[in-house]
Amino acid sequence: MTTPTPARDRAIGLVGFDGDDTLWKSEDFYRQAEQDYLELLSHYIDVHDTGTARHLLEVQRRNLTVFGYGVKAMTLSMIEAAIEITDSRVSAAHIQRMLDIGHATLRHPVELIAGVRESVARIAEQYPVVLITKGDLFHQEAKIKVAQLHDLFPRIEIVSEKDPETYARVLAEFDLPIAQFVMVGNSLRSDIEPVVTLGGWGVHTPYAVTWAHETEHGVADDEPRMVTADTAWDWPAALDTIEAKAIAARDGKA
């Protein structure tokens, strides 16, 4: 895979894009899977309060270092959570149904979010771009293939976690100072906070649905190294704003 050459004559030399819920829809299908899971558990316990969903989230969180992210990790955590919360009363038939939920979620359609292809293509005319997405390797590769994005992204990184260490490693491979990097994404926790913490820039485009784990972050509403773009159509303008901010910071005018 070709590694794009950073634009060293600009204040911004590289633009990264998240995948799930930034380029294509994803979280909607996870939420449907969770609802199907709760419906199954209604055969054993009262699921009308928030405790059952909260328990599943707790199990998913404690399994992140073992299973990582993605549908397979969610499915294994569903089974584990169901066994715990029903005191092992959950039937083999319902465990099989949870596996079916996982299979169905893995096969969900890949739908690009409006404006993505047009805006990424426009940005790529000015800046080198890279796709940095988190999750299960096979599933992410399949979604990228179906979305037909290889023509837009000469470099694609599928990572197990999005933290400062991961971003620092990727930027080291480009031999680019973090101050010349912008990350575009829907998650303040995974796409924005690690990058601005390192001294880079972020374009935040909120998605309608966000996993509870991703809502916990330390990014201030007035973070000066972040610009909010309501839709993908707004990305080129957001990059113009950040380019101006980065020039001012570089020239000591910020």
Q: Any idea what DSSP says for residue 213?
A: G
Which pLDDT score, from 0 to 100, does residue 214 have? 59
Rounded to the nearest 10 degrees, what angle do helices 92-106 and 27-41 cross at?
Answer: 170
Residue whose C-alpha is closest to residue 82's, from 33, 48, 45? 45
Residue 99: other Cβ atoms inside 10 A: 14
Query: Which residues have CB under 8 Å from 211's CB, separation 6+?
Result: 27, 30
CB 180 within 8 A of CB 13: yes
The pTM is what?
0.88
pLDDT tens, per residue, the chain with 254 residues: 555 655 556 799 999 999 989 999 988 898 899 999 999 999 999 887 768 888 998 999 899 888 988 899 999 999 999 999 999 999 999 999 999 999 999 888 889 999 999 999 999 999 999 999 988 888 888 888 888 888 889 899 999 888 999 999 999 999 899 999 999 999 998 899 999 999 999 999 998 766 565 566 678 888 899 999 999 999 999 999 999 999 988 877 65
Residue 212: other Cβ atoms inside 10 A: 12
Instruction: Considering only CA atoms, give the Rg of the chain.
Output: 20
Which pLDDT score, from 0 to 100, does residue 182 have? 97
Which pLDDT score, from 0 to 100, does residue 248 have? 86
